[in-house]
Structure 1
Amino acid sequence: MILDIYKDSLEYSAKDWKKLVILGVICLFSFLLLPVFLITGYNYRVINTAVHGIINGRDPLPEFDDVIDMFVDGVKVVIVQIAYLLVPGIIFLIFVFIANAVGGFAATVIMVIGCLITFVLVVVACLMSQMALCHMAYNEGAFSKAFAISEIREVIDEIGWFNCIATYIGLIIITIAIAVVVTAIIYGIFTVFGVSGAILGVDPSGVFIVGALINSLVTMFFVGPYLSIFNSRSIGLLYTMQI
């Protein structure tokens, strides 16, 4: 089932390259902060489509219409994500405070324990926040449903904690692998061009600069949007495993 989710999401994310470019353009202006909420809002639409769909269905990529609604959804997504990460953050700060108060070797031991506990809590919080967004989307966007902890926990219990964590780890691995492979291919091509130019007596520095620029553009307008949609679709389909 998990492999089916990956297969569906990989194919789904490549359905409309024009929308990837549009998402990439929005990402280009994310330094202005407000476009960030449009990005998270669009990813929420992907999740919403997934939780109301089926694996290997014919769901289309969401449109970029109703921008105000998409922006509002994006704000809600960011609030939910921050809220779930508050607990690990507060617990980590408590360990830092205790370590500073104790000092010496004991402080090091306390910080190691604190980091391990915080890491586990962050993983759980990230998983809970993703399922919370799915739960909110499945319940017609009801914001309160993102914090219905008992209901969300029941969803995860029904899917299986192992399946959820395994899927989440798999998403991280696939995301990193795709990004690394694309970058390696681009730099590999321009390395060949650069070496060939050097053999012919041409300064290869310009070739490598162009390669770095193209890699940035490909990542910005294609790979980044593709992977964000892939992750959102996968999480949404994972949620449907309990329905």
Structure 2
Amino acid sequence: MILDIYKDAFEYSAQDWKTLLILGVICLFSVLLLPIFLITGYNYRVINNAVHGVINGRDPLPKFDEIVNMFVDGIKVAIVQIAYVIVPAIIFLIFMFGASYAGDVAAVALMIIGCLITLVVGVLACLMNQMALCHMAYNDGELSKAFALKEIKEVIDDIGWFKCILTYLGLIIITVVISSVVTAIVGSIFTVLGMSGFLIDATLGGGILFLGMLLNVVVSMFIIGPYLSIFNARSIGLLYTMQIGNSPDVVEE
């Protein structure tokens, strides 16, 4: 079933390249901060479609309309994400504070233990955060449902903690692999071309290497980044549906 989720999300995210470019343009202006809420708001729409859909259901990508509502949804998502990162952040700060007053050996031990505990709690917090967003979307965008910890825990219990963590870690691995592979391929091609260019002219070689770096940034920002953000949102939303009746419908192709 997890592979079905990944397969659906891969196909779903690639069905409209124009959407990826729009998200890329918005991402370009994210330095102004406000556009970030449009990106998180759009990903929330992806989640909302998924929690009310089925695997292989051929759902269309959300439209870029009702921008004000999308912006408000993005703010709500940011509130939820910040709230769930507070606990692991506090744990990390406590251990770092203790390490600053301990001896050399004790300080190192506290830092290692603190980092390990923060990592475990952080993964759980991220999982809870993702399920919280799904739970909010499933309950008509009611913000309080994102903090209904008992209900969210029951959702994860129904799906299975191991299955949830495995799916979430799988998403992290897929994201890192795709990003790394694409960057490596583009980088390798232009490195070879650049080195060949240096044999002709240093300026030509340097220009080719610079073009390769620029292309990597463009591809990451306008294609890979938006694609992976939609992929992750869709996957988490479909994972949430696994607790509805404990067996989501899968539309056969």
2:249 aligns to what?
A: none
2:101 is paired with a residue of what secondary structure? helix
Shift of 1:93: 1.6
| Rounded Cα–Cα distance in structure 1 between residues aligned with 2:138 and 2:215 | 39
Aligned ranges for residues 2-81 of structure 1 at < 5 Å? 2-81=2-81
| Rounded Cα–Cα distance in structure 1 between residues aligned with 2:104 and 2:13 | 51
2:248 aligns to what?
A: none
Partner AA of 1:164 in structure 2? C
| Rounded Cα–Cα distance in structure 2 between residues aligned with 1:147 and 1:201 | 61
Shift of 1:191: 2.6
Shift of 1:74: 0.5
1:102 is paired with a residue of what secondary structure? coil
Q: TM-score, normalised by structure 1?
A: 0.96
| Rounded Cα–Cα distance in structure 2 between residues aligned with 1:79 and 1:158 | 26
Unaligned runs of 5+ in 2: 245-253
Question: Cα deviations across residues 10-55 of structure 1 (Å, max 9, x unaligned)?
Answer: 0000010001000000000000000011110000000000000011
Partner AA of 1:219 in structure 2? S
Is 2:242 aligned against 1:236?
no
Q: Which moved more, 1:68-77 or 1:93-102?
A: 93-102
- CA 1:197–1:96 in structure 2 vs 1: closer, same or farther (change >3 Å)? closer
Shift of 1:199: 4.0
Aligned ranges for residues 59-208 of structure 1 at < 5 Å? 59-201=59-201, 203-208=204-209
- CA 1:137–1:192 in structure 2 vs 1: closer, same or farther (change >3 Å)? same
Q: Which moved more, 1:120-129 or 1:97-106?
A: 97-106
| Rounded Cα–Cα distance in structure 2 between residues aligned with 1:97 and 1:192 | 48
Partner AA of 2:226 in structure 1? P
Q: Which moved more, 1:25-34 or 1:214-223?
A: 214-223
Q: Which moved more, 1:81-90 or 1:20-29?
A: 81-90
Q: Which moved more, 1:87-96 or 1:210-219?
A: 87-96
Shift of 1:201: 4.7
Shift of 1:116: 1.1
| Rounded Cα–Cα distance in structure 1 between residues aligned with 2:53 and 2:179 | 27
| Rounded Cα–Cα distance in structure 2 between residues aligned with 1:49 and 1:116 | 35
Asked if the contact 2:132–2:145 (Cα under 8 Å) also holds between the matched residues in 1, the reply is yes
| Rounded Cα–Cα distance in structure 1 between residues aligned with 2:105 and 2:192 | 52
Q: TM-score, normalised by structure 2?
A: 0.92
Stretches of 4+ aligned residues off by more than 6 angstroms: none
Partner AA of 2:76 in structure 1? K
Q: CA RMSD in A?
A: 1.3
| Rounded Cα–Cα distance in structure 2 between residues aligned with 1:215 and 1:117 | 35
| Rounded Cα–Cα distance in structure 1 between residues aligned with 2:109 and 2:177 | 34
| Rounded Cα–Cα distance in structure 1 between residues aligned with 2:142 and 2:21 | 30
Question: Cα deviations across residues 162-190 of structure 1 (Å, max 9, x unaligned)?
Answer: 11111111111111111112112212222
| Rounded Cα–Cα distance in structure 2 between residues aligned with 1:224 and 1:9 | 14
Question: Cα deviations across residues 141-170 of structure 1 (Å, max 9, x unaligned)?
Answer: 010000000000011011111111111111
Q: Which moved more, 1:200-209 or 1:108-117?
A: 200-209
Partner AA of 1:21 in structure 2? L
Unaligned runs of 5+ in 1: none
Partner AA of 1:74 in structure 2? G
Q: Which moved more, 1:179-188 or 1:219-228?
A: 179-188
